[in-house]
Structure 1
Amino acid sequence: MNRLTFELRLVLRSRLSAAALLLLLLLSVLAVWSGMREVQRQRQTIERLAPLHERDVAALAARYPDSKDAGNPAYYTFYNTWDPPSGAAFLALGLRDVAPYVLRIRALGLQAQLYEGETFNPEVALPGRFDYAFVLIYLAPLFTIALLHDLVSAERQSGRLRLLLAMPDAGRLWRRRVGLRYALLFACLAVPACVGAALSASGIAATIVVLAVTAACLAFWTGLSLLVATRQWRSVTNATVLMGAWAMLTLVLPALANVALIRAIPVNQGVDLMLAQRQAVHGAWEIPRAETMRRFVAGHPEWKHQADVPGRFHWKWYFAFHQVGDESVAGAARAYRDGLVARQAWTGRLGWLLPGVGAQAVLHRLAGTDLPAQLAYQDAIVAFHREIRHFYYSYLFNDRPFGSADFARRPAFVPHAAAGMPGGTELFALFLLAGAVFAAGVWRLGRLRMHGGE
């Protein structure tokens, strides 16, 4: 314990090391606080919209107290859907920064409503959110490099290296120094994350996974720093090489891999589906009504006996061609979704080689802010929209009146579970990569000789 205390004093006596640890702690606290604040803001938005929605429905019920059919109520009534953030969402906000977490829909064509949230300003979305995942993946490696790049070279340049290597417990000395720096870095990241998890009620299992991912990321960069620091190079050279490795592994290679995925798996934007669906809907005004109803009945035979429409405008024909417009782009919608899922699968495979990508995938899955979570929200919207349509179809196709009491029978949205534990494959890949690099670095440290090198 006395030797460990002495090493701690040496670390804290170094202005660079002390400032680096303090700054990392402050950044971690700020990231956790920022993530929790954003999650709280989203929850408040969801809670604030609920009474406003009920007020709109009440006004609509007063406007149409006794309708001959459900056409006007079906056309004007909006339904709230929402994707509540999980307890661990503050760690990695992911797609919640750009994808809508609240969406109002009607009984009209869904595709045109589903992808309206993609029309955001890309310059606003470009910087991303400052959350715990950002600090862990992009900033923590820099602090690891700052504390370990001169572990050996500083002793060599000061003339103390031969003396240290000649000590009987030289091996334990180096391991103690590395372990202490690793523990200090881990504490600066883990303590704010644990406090945030406790305040957010994330759960013990989620907290353990976050700590494990944090430990794995630090282990990778510690091992890589040791592989470079034990070379017979000067401190400046070590820092330069490690900074180059950081830029390649966290910035350049992920960006190149993303470009390769975009070219290998081309995917149209959701806005293209929205435009295609709207074109089909607008074109239905020029198509004979009998043809539209024939297409509708082909997919919904339960209404074939009520599909006749008079010569004048009828609401069931109007909603039928909206449904046909959705079905006309169903193949493109499946292809769009399949392309996104394929890209996500290959991104997960990149985590076997790039620790930042692997850690990000695990944290986003844990927080319920990744692509599968967003697709699950869309699935919940699709199922709810189907329930809304069936609710109004029973009135429209049976020519039943729609009164004030029927507003109270309207469907209610039930949100899906946002978070989910990451798969064992992603965690295993991250631990395997980090463990291999860390073990190589420790083995390299143990091979130091009297000349302080190979």
Structure 2
Amino acid sequence: MRNLMFELRLVLQSRLAAGALALLMLLSALSVWSGLQAGAAQRAALERIAATQRAEVAAIAAKYADGGDAGQAAYSTPHLTVNPPSPLAFAALGQRDLQPYSLRVRLLGLQSQLYESESINPELAMAGRFDFAFLLVYLAPLFVIALMHDLISGEREAGRLRLLASLPAATGRLWRRRIGLRYALVWLAALAPLAAGGALAGAEAAGLAGVALVASLYLAFWFGVTAWVAGHARGSAASAAILLAALVGLTMVLPTLADAAIARLVPVSKGVELALAQRQAVHQGWDVPKTATFAQFFRTHPEWRDTPPVTGRFHWKWYYAMQQVGDQAVADEVARYRASLREREDWTGRAGTLLAPVAVQVLLHRLADTDLRGQLAYQERIADFHTRLRKFFYPYIFEERPFSPRDFARMPSFGASEARAELPAGPLAALGLMAMLALALGLRRVAH
């Protein structure tokens, strides 16, 4: 314990080390604050949207005080769907800055509504959000390098290395103690603000423990890498240069190449193209005989086959049948699109088995439910809700029942599901293996 306290005083007496630790804690606190602010802004936006939605639906319902046409009511009434941030979203915002987290849908074709708002600001996509995941992946290794690059070369340049080497029995313990102490200090500086942010956000202990586990393994990986390089390099400048090159390669160059390779291997069309295809199918339906439209509709909805036929130029039952047929026309394209997105996500997870920074992002975004899988799950909940809407309105439309204010109160409402923290086993095991291997090699190298 006395030796450990002595080493701690040596670290804290170094202006570089003490300044680096203080700056890391400050940046970690800023990243947590930034994530909390982003989450609060999204929740506030959802509250404003919900208030506007209630007022709009109330105004529409007031027009039906004496009853009215259900088809017109379904056409005029939007239904709000929301995807609020999870308590852990502040740590890894992921796709929440790029994808919509609220969407108002009507009884019209679903696909055109799902994807017409799929617009991504390229500046946001390029820069990313300053959250804890960003700090951990890109900035924390810089502080590890600052504390570790001269671990051995600094003693050599100060003329103390030969003296330390003359005590072979104690040398290994000395380096392990110094590495362990620096690891503990970096871990504390990075994760203490995260714990405070988790408490403010109401995050579950299991989720925070998962984030801490991922951060611990990633920091162990970089301490292992820096120890191995420090054991080989002859000078502090050379050691720092090698480690900075490794940082750029592992966090920027190789992940970019992997992303480009995945995009080439699994090409994916844009969701806007699906929206346009669905709308084109609906527009063509105006020129198709009504009997042909109903024939396609009744294949998937035979329960309405015996309802009164449409004899006039327009009827709401024909209009909504045409909308549904438009969705059915692009169903195969939608399935392929979503399958391609999931395949890309799977390949990203596989890249994480070789690249520690990619594994960290995959794990943190899954824990926070802010990855592509979370966005697809939101879209699936919207599709289920749209199905409930159709089942609610179709009896009124196809049986030509009147629609009253009481029926407005009975309309289905969208329920947002609560995300559960998950740690994918594959990327977690790969990150753990890389961390333990790098740490073992680094400790072995500095001990000799």
The two structures have a TM-score, normalised by structure 1, of: 0.96
**What amino acid is the match of 2:42?**
Q
C-alpha separation in 1, matches of 2:166 and 2:140: 33
Counterpart for residue 420 of structure 1: 421
Q: CA RMSD in A?
A: 1.2
Q: Does 1:403 align with 2:404?
A: yes
Counterpart for residue 143 of structure 1: 143
C-alpha separation in 1, matches of 2:233 and 2:88: 44
Counterpart for residue 89 of structure 1: 89
How far apart are residue 312 of structure 1 and its match?
2.1
Q: Does 1:2 align with 2:2?
A: yes
Give ranges in structure 2 of 5+ residues lacking alignment.
Answer: none
Aligned counterparts, 1:333-412, within 5 A: 333-412=334-413
Q: Secondary structure at the match of 1:117?
A: coil
Q: Secondary structure at the match of 1:357?
A: helix
How far apart are residue 68 of structure 1 and its match?
4.2
C-alpha separation in 2, matches of 1:214 and 1:391: 48
C-alpha separation in 1, matches of 2:400 and 2:387: 20
Q: Does 1:31 align with 2:31?
A: yes
Contact 2:290 2:318 in 1 (8 A): yes
How far apart are residue 164 of structure 1 and its match?
1.4
C-alpha separation in 2, matches of 1:369 and 1:395: 38
Q: Percent identity?
A: 51
**What amino acid is the match of 1:302?**
E
How far apart are residue 307 of structure 1 and its match?
6.1
Contact 1:292 1:324 in 2 (8 A): yes
Q: Secondary structure at the match of 1:320?
A: helix
How far apart are residue 41 of structure 1 and its match?
1.5
Counterpart for residue 450 of structure 1: none
How far apart are residue 289 of structure 1 and its match?
1.3
Q: Secondary structure at the match of 1:80?
A: strand
Q: Secondary structure at the match of 1:81?
A: strand
Contact 1:293 1:307 in 2 (8 A): no
Give ranges in structure 1 of 5+ residues lacking alignment.
Answer: 448-454
**What amino acid is the match of 1:45?**
A
Contact 2:107 2:390 in 1 (8 A): yes
Q: Secondary structure at the match of 2:314?
A: coil
Counterpart for residue 287 of structure 2: 286
Counterpart for residue 63 of structure 1: 63
CA offsets per residue over residues 414-449 of structure 1, 9 Å max, x none? 1122233112222222111111111111111111xx
C-alpha separation in 2, matches of 1:281 and 1:370: 32
How far apart are residue 113 of structure 1 and its match?
0.7
Q: Does 1:75 align with 2:71?
A: no
Counterpart for residue 224 of structure 1: 225
Q: Secondary structure at the match of 1:286?
A: coil
C-alpha separation in 1, matches of 2:63 and 2:392: 20
Q: Secondary structure at the match of 1:426?
A: helix
Q: Secondary structure at the match of 1:66?
A: coil
CA offsets per residue over residues 47-97 of structure 1, 9 Å max, x none? 222222111111001123334421111001000000121111111001111
Q: Does 1:213 align with 2:214?
A: yes
Aligned counterparts, 1:204-283, within 5 A: 204-283=205-284
Q: 4+ residue runs of structure 1 moved beyond 4 angstroms?
A: none
Aligned counterparts, 1:320-339, within 5 A: 320-339=321-340
Contact 1:67 1:402 in 2 (8 A): yes
The two structures have a TM-score, normalised by structure 2, of: 0.97
**What amino acid is the match of 2:43?**
R
C-alpha separation in 2, matches of 1:244 and 1:272: 41
**What amino acid is the match of 2:150?**
D
How far apart are residue 260 of structure 1 and its match?
0.5
C-alpha separation in 1, matches of 2:47 and 2:101: 12
Q: Bigger shift: 163-172 or 74-83?
A: 163-172
Q: Secondary structure at the match of 1:108?
A: coil
Q: Bigger shift: 258-267 or 285-294?
A: 285-294
How far apart are residue 36 of structure 1 and its match?
1.0
Counterpart for residue 114 of structure 1: 114
Contact 1:148 1:226 in 2 (8 A): yes
How far apart are residue 257 of structure 1 and its match?
0.5
Counterpart for residue 13 of structure 1: 13
Count of aligned pairs: 447
Q: Does 1:200 align with 2:201?
A: yes
Contact 2:98 2:121 in 1 (8 A): no
Cα–Cα, structure 1 residues 164 and 21, in superposed 2: closer, same or farther, change >3 Å?
A: same
Counterpart for residue 452 of structure 1: none
**What amino acid is the match of 2:218?**
C
CA offsets per residue over residues 241-272 of structure 1, 9 Å max, x none? 11111111100111001100011111101111
Contact 2:353 2:359 in 1 (8 A): yes
Contact 2:207 2:421 in 1 (8 A): no
C-alpha separation in 2, matches of 1:230 and 1:55: 68
C-alpha separation in 2, matches of 1:278 and 1:177: 65
Contact 1:277 1:328 in 2 (8 A): yes
C-alpha separation in 1, matches of 2:357 and 2:155: 31
CA offsets per residue over residues 327-346 of structure 1, 9 Å max, x none? 11100000000001111111
Cα–Cα, structure 1 residues 327 and 96, in superposed 2: closer, same or farther, change >3 Å?
A: same
CA offsets per residue over residues 393-429 of structure 1, 9 Å max, x none? 1101001011111111111111122233112222222
Counterpart for residue 309 of structure 1: 310
C-alpha separation in 1, matches of 2:371 and 2:419: 10
C-alpha separation in 1, matches of 2:107 and 2:340: 27
C-alpha separation in 2, matches of 1:312 and 1:95: 45
How far apart are residue 232 of structure 1 and its match?
4.1
